[in-house]
Amino acid sequence: MNVDGIVLVTGGSRGIGAATATLLAHQGQRVVIVDIAPEPLAGTQAILWPAPFDVASEGAVVSGIADIERAHGRITGLVNAAGVFGKMHAAARVRMDNWDREINIDLRGTFLMARSVGERMAQRGAGAIVNVASVAGMTSGPIHAYTAAKAGVIQITQTLAAEWGRAGVRVNAVSPGFTRTVALEAGIASGALNRDRLVRNTAMNRLVEPVEVAHAIAWLLAPASSAVTGINLPVDAGFIAGSTWDAYGGWPETPDA
């Protein structure tokens, strides 16, 4: 990541996007955040793009990226954190308008942003992109559009990394596990999700904190990961590692300290 440019964070007003923008700004990066419902981040130097930004609209993305670079300078880092999470349903109950909305924002939006920014980076010979996928894209669950979209994000990450690697652009993904965002807490409060169920199959027996995902993203943007491209990094408190242990009777008792 080039320190004389900016880092653009989509979905930057809330959740993992907000945590990432805050961390990067505190690290001294020049950060611009965009969001469909833009709100400033208190206590940071992150710059809010004041107009609603629709990542699923090709016209809005192309013109918006050009406007942002004219106003704030070239984009040397991109974090695609904008996304929506659908309702849990059996396949027969999935409404296709909801399916289309999730695919459009989570997958189409990620691709449009990565393409629009990545082509500019490739012409300049440098840049780093991090796409926020999910462990849902690596497993199965009754969130049919979301799992499909996030699996697609993982795939396009690898493909774009291969396409732009020789042009000096790195493209990686992080796959958060169950992360303690406001949205997740609201799901728990409503009864749609159960905290014990969310944590009991993780090796670390806990939720992920948004800032823990942000630290992984910051590393993938930084020169410290200069030879890393095309990977999908789970940040999941050991959900993937631990998800099968219940079938074998669970975990051994932790010895007393």
Active site residues: 146
Whether 46 contacts 12, CB under 8 Å: yes
Nearest to 121 by CA among 61, 168, 57: 168
Smallest Cα–Cα separation from 21: which of 161, 217, 242? 217
Residue 196 vs residues 202, 207, 255: alpha-carbon distances, Å: 10, 10, 22
What is the residue type of 66? A
H helices present in 15-172, as ranges: 15-26, 58-72, 96-102, 109-124, 144-164
Contact criterion met (CB below 8 Å) for 144 and 92: no
Q: How far apart are the first and last CA of the chain?
A: 42
Task: Answer whether 81's CB lies under 8 Å from 12's CB.
Answer: yes
What residues pair up with 33 in beta bridges, in sequence order?
9, 48
